[in-house]
Amino acid sequence: MNAAMAVPFPEQTLPNWRRAVLKVGSSLLSDGRGGLGKRNAAALARLISRFRDQGREVLLVSSGAVAAGRGLMADHGGGLARRQALAALGQAPMLALWQGLVEQPVAKVLLSHDDLRNRRRYLNAQATLRELLALGALPIVNENDTVAVDELKLGDNDNLAAVVATLIDADILLIATDTDGLYTGHPEHDPDARPVPRIESITPGVMRMAQGGAGTLGTGGMVTKLEAATKAAAAGIDTALFCGHRMDTIDALSADRLRGTFIPAHGERLVARKMWLRHTPPSGGRIRIDEGAAQALAERGASLLPGGVVGVEGDFNCSAMVDITCAEGRRRLARGLVQYQSTDLERIAGRHSREIESVLGFHNGRSVIHRDDMVLLDAAAAAVH
C-alpha cells in the first residue's frame, strides 16, 4: 500500500434509498490467476440479501464474463473478437457463480447500448426488468459483448449500469470496485493522491484526476465510473463508489454508511423523468378520456385504465408517446407512453382491465398508460394543435 491508500476515506451517511443498481467490476470477480474468484462475490451477495431483508430492491450489473472465459480456456489473448468469444464462454459461469451465492433466482439480461438508444427496445427492457424485480428475482445485467463494438472497445458496464439505473428508476447507483473510491490522482502511481469523499459536480478538473487508466483486470477505470455518475446525477440518481473487497466497507454500507466517494444527484429524480417524458417527441396519436378518468389522473395521479378511454385517434404502436385529451378532444390533459397499439386499444376502450386478456388474447398490463410513464400538462400546454 502506498501513502495515498493509507489515508482512509471518512465515513458518511447515505440518503435513504429503496431501489439500487449495484455494479460489480471484473477487478473484484477475478481470482488473480486468470479465472473467477468467489470471495468478494460472496461478501457482495450477503450485502444484497441484507438489503432485501431491509425491504429494498437490488438489480446487479456484473462484469466478469471475460475473466471467467479466460479461466476456462487458460487464454490470455487480446483483440476484440477473442475477448468477445471469451465473454460468451464466461457468461454462464459468471451467472452460476452468483446463483450459487444468492437465495433468489437470478435472471440473465444481456443488453447493448444500442438496444437502449432504441425507444421501443428501451421500453421492452424496462418492462422485463420491472417484472423481474416484482417477481423477486435478481436481474443480472451484463453488456451483450458479442454485438457491442461501441467506440472500438469491448464493454463498459459502468455506463451501462447508469442507463439501467434510469431505466428502472433506481434511487442510487452503487459501484463496487477494487479501490476505496476516487483519489485526486492514481492511487498506485501518485504519492500525493488524496481521497475525494464527495463530488458536487464532475468538472473537467475532476475527470483529470481519473486519467491514470484502469487496473489490470478492469476496462474503463475511474473515467467510466465518473461518466456513469454524470449520467446518473442528470437523471436524478445518486452514485456511491466503494471498495468491494473490504469487509468493513461492505458492513458499513448495509447500515447506509459509505466509506468511499459520493456523487449526489442534480435535482429530483421524478422531475428528471417527467422532463424526459415532456420532451420526448409525440407520435401524433391521441387518446380521448372521460371526465372520471381525467379527474383520477389530475387529482390522484392515477394510471390511465381502459375503462376511461372513449376514443382513439391516429395509428400508433405499443410504447408510442401519445397525447391524452378530454372526451371532446379540445384540451390536452397529459401525455405518456402507451402500453397498447391503437388497433388493440380501440377494442379494449371502455372495458374493465380484467377483460383485456379475454378481448385481446394477451395483456401488457392493466393500465393503458402507467402513471410513471405519464406527465400531466398545465393549462399553457393544453391547447390541441
Ligand X SMILES: Nc1ncnc2c1ncn2[C@@H]1O[C@H](COP(=O)(O)OP(=O)(O)O)[C@@H](O)[C@H]1O
Using CB under 6 A as the binding rule, the residues of this chain from 150 to 179 that contact ligand X are 177-179
Write each residue from 12 to 31 as x if it is in contact with ligand X (CB under 6 A), else as -, in one continuous string: -------------xxx----
168, 59 Cβ separation under 8 angstroms: yes
Q: What does the alpha-carbon distance between residue 306 and residue 351 come to, in Å, rounded to a whole number?
A: 6
Q: Three-state SS string across 291-333, please?
A: HHHHHHHHHHCCCECHHHEEEEECCCCCCCEEEEECCCCCEEE
Q: Is 216 annotated to bind ligand?
A: no
| Nearest distance from C-beta of residue 204 to ligand VHF, angstroms | 22
CB-based closest residue to ligand VHF? 155
Using CB under 6 A as the binding rule, the residues of this chain from 198 to 237 that contact ligand X are 209-210, 212-215, 217-222
Selection from ligand X, ligand VHF, none that 187 binds (CB < 5 to 8 A by kind) is ligand X
The two beta strands, 238-243 and 261-263, are antiparallel
Selection from ligand VHF, ligand X, none that 345 binds (CB < 5 to 8 A by kind) is none
Selection from ligand VHF, ligand X, none that 186 binds (CB < 5 to 8 A by kind) is ligand X
Q: Which residues pair with 287 in a beta bridge?
A: 312, 324
Q: Is 212 annotated to bind ligand?
A: no
Q: What does the alpha-carbon distance between residue 335 and residue 307 come to, in Å, rounded to a whole number?
A: 18
333, 296 Cβ separation under 8 angstroms: no
Q: Is 178 annotated to bind ligand?
A: yes
Selection from ligand X, ligand VHF, none that 222 binds (CB < 5 to 8 A by kind) is ligand X
Q: Is 223 annotated to bind ligand?
A: yes
Selection from ligand X, ligand VHF, none that 156 binds (CB < 5 to 8 A by kind) is ligand VHF
| Nearest distance from C-beta of residue 207 to ligand X, angstroms | 10
107, 101 Cβ separation under 8 angstroms: no
Q: At 363, list the grid cell.
A: 395483456
Selection from ligand X, ligand VHF, none that 230 binds (CB < 5 to 8 A by kind) is none
| Nearest distance from C-beta of residue 69 to ligand X, angstroms | 15
The answer to whether 68 contacts ligand X (rule: CB under 6 A) is no
State the residues that interact with ligand VHF by CB under 6 A.
25-27, 63-67, 87, 142-143, 145, 155-157, 218-220
Q: How many residues bind ligand X (CB under 6 A)?
A: 24
63, 50 Cβ separation under 8 angstroms: no
The answer to whether 187 contacts ligand X (rule: CB under 6 A) is yes
Q: Is 225 annotated to bind ligand?
A: yes
In the bound state with ligand X, the residue whose beta carbon lies nearer, of 66 and 349, is 66
Q: Is 177 annotated to bind ligand?
A: yes
Q: Is 207 annotated to bind ligand?
A: no
Q: What does the alpha-carbon distance between residue 291 and residue 327 come to, in Å, rounded to a whole number?
A: 7
Residue type, 312: V
Which residues have C-beta within 8 Å of that of residue 151, sequence separation ≥ 6?
A: none
Q: What does the alpha-carbon distance between residue 113 and residue 148 come to, in Å, rounded to a whole number?
A: 8
In the bound state with ligand X, the residue whose beta carbon lies nearer, of 73 and 207, is 207
The answer to whether 260 contacts ligand X (rule: CB under 6 A) is no
11, 195 Cβ separation under 8 angstroms: no
In the bound state with ligand VHF, the residue whose beta carbon lies nearer, of 155 and 307, is 155
Element (H, E) at 111: strand 106-111
Element (H, E) at 275: helix 269-279
CA distances from 290 to 108, 352, 371 (A): 42, 14, 17
| Nearest distance from C-beta of residue 164 to ligand VHF, angstroms | 13
Name the site residues for ligand X (rule: CB under 6 A).
Answer: 25-27, 63, 177-179, 182-183, 185-187, 209-210, 212-215, 217-222
